[in-house]
């Protein structure tokens, strides 16, 4: 079973600053990694898939990078609506089993 570990657990920043969230996999997932955003009381929203591809409608300030076991989600300049919880996610090849990181809360400083 592949375990995803995110860091930090909480990130306190101000609007306009750059945010960086890390996700480390316990074994290689090649580039099959996604990032989701979840706001309070809402369902998760797919932001990034295949480690670096933005999903439809996702602003360009969101970017993803990495491969193998180490991945990063970057928000270049924080907007007020970006303060939320972010999760990374992977799927094992076969049998298909999905797992999520424990989440990173991005809060306003």
Interface residues with another protein (CB under 8 A)?
32, 34, 36, 38, 42-46, 49-50, 55-56, 87, 89-91, 95-103
* Residue 77 vs 93, nearer CB to another protein: 93
CB of 102 to another protein, least distance (A): 5
* Residue 21 vs 34, nearer CB to another protein: 34
Rounded to the nearest 10°, the torsion over CA 27, 99, 32, 22 is -70
- Report the phi/psi class of residue 23: left, alpha or beta, with left for phi > 0 and alpha for psi in -120 to 50: beta
CB of 67 to another protein, least distance (A): 14
The residue length of the chain stands at 109
* Residue 68 vs 103, nearer CB to another protein: 103
Q: Of 88, 86, 91, 87, which Cα lies nearest the Cα of 29?
A: 91
CB of 7 to another protein, least distance (A): 14
C-beta separation of 47 from 36 below 8 A: yes
């Amino acid at each position: 079973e592949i375990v995803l570990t995110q860091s930090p657990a909480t990130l306190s920043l101000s609007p306009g600053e750059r945010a960086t969230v890390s996700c480390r996999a316990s074994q290689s997932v090649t580039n099959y990694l996604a990032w989701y955003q979840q706001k309070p009381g809402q369902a998760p929203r797919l932001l990034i898939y295949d480690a670096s591809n933005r999903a439809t409608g996702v602003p360009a300030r969101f970017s993803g990078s990495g491969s193998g076991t180490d991945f990063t989600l970057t928000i270049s300049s924080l907007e007020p609506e970006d303060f939320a919880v972010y999760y990374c996610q992977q799927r094992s090849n076969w049998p298909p089993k999905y797992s999520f990181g424990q989440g990173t809360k991005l809060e306003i400083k």
